Homo-oligomer: A and B are copies of this chain.
């Protein structure tokens, strides 16, 4: 009799879930701060490109520069090496490896470039306000691409095709500066937005999510995950870390910004961006979900609930833009040679 009651209770709870009205769930999500990528491209563009700087010419040039290994000292590493667009915009390793096979000195994991435009801050410590600023960092950083500004500029200006493309993109006689190179890379990166079933659902298509994904979304919100992972990025803003417990997978000396705040990563495409956390020490999503429950929310998230949340997270895996692999201009006699040492 006890068993039967228990079964009935579970069924009753489940049926409340299944019966939850889509309109109510969408309202619940929006009230929790979750936000869809607009289905109207014009609306989206107004958000990511308020000044109308993203011309076709700049996007194409930015794509070339994004894939350009000669922006690195060795001429072997491009933005795409660590933010590989074919594997979720990441490198799939725990801590980034760069010039001369140097591991990131703070043991930091490469965040995805997909939807990075939607983040409110860039880098794990949020020290950069936007992509154009962010892009200047890794090109110069010793353990990443290791190219002094002057070398990067000299390499690009040595190739007449690039000079012509900058002229076309910004006006004849445009001076190619390091900042202009980074700005142009950022313009390409802004195109890397990946709408997913989650967005279609919040935008009103009630069939875009499965029953299980909807149930998982409710659990995600009820447990409090959306208190950090919200807005259009489903994350991307600075948050306090280790609120209720110590992070169990500590490795490296990273302590966040000067107030101990850490950027909550976007959860978009999270099924494709393992390993997880700032130090990439967790390889499976379920462990990551339970760890965040403990560290941030003071909750012991059950296996069942973690599974539900994981099911919801699959709805954040989005459609990637089609990218024609760029053909880059040949080096010339003026191009500074690769420096592998």
Contacts and interface: CB of A to CB of B under 8 A. Distances in A.
Contacts of A327: 86, 320
A207 B326 CA distance: 29
Interface in A290-341: 320, 322-328, 330-331, 333, 337-338, 340
Interface stretch (A70-78, A165-173, A182-190): A70-78
A86 B328 contact: yes
A272 B327 CA distance: 11
Interface size of A as a range: 35 or more
A91 B340 CA distance: 12
A84 B78 CA distance: 12
Nearest to A88: B330
Given A320-B327, A325-B323, A76 B91 contact: yes
Nearest to A271: B330
A274 B81 contact: no
A163 B296 CA distance: 38
Contacts of A103: 340
Given A93-B75, A93-B338, A87 B328 contact: yes
Contacts of A325: 85-86, 323-325
Interface in A59-103: 67, 69-70, 74-76, 81, 84-88, 91-94, 97, 100-101, 103
Contacts of A87: 69, 328, 330
Most buried by B among A97, A283, A330: A330
Contacts of A337: 275, 283
A92 B284 contact: no
Most buried by B among A69, A85, A284, A324: A69
A281 to B, nearest CB: 11
Nearest to A333: B284
B92 A338 contact: yes
Contacts of A283: 333, 337
Nearest to A102: B101
A69 B274 CA distance: 15
Given A271-B330, A324-B324, A327-B86, A69 B97 contact: no
Contacts of A70: 92
Contacts of A323: 324-325
Nearest to A337: B283
Nearest to A274: B331
A324 B100 CA distance: 30
Interface of A: 67, 69-70, 74-76, 81, 84-88, 91-94, 97, 100-101, 103, 271-272, 274-275, 283-284, 320, 322-328, 330-331, 333, 337-338, 340
29 contacts: A67-B86, A69-B91, A74-B93, A75-B93, A76-B81, A76-B91, A76-B97, A86-B325, A86-B326, A86-B327, A86-B328, A87-B328, A87-B330, A88-B330, A92-B338, A93-B340, A94-B338, A101-B101, A103-B340, A271-B330, A272-B330, A274-B330, A283-B333, A283-B337, A320-B327, A323-B325, A324-B324, A324-B325, A325-B325
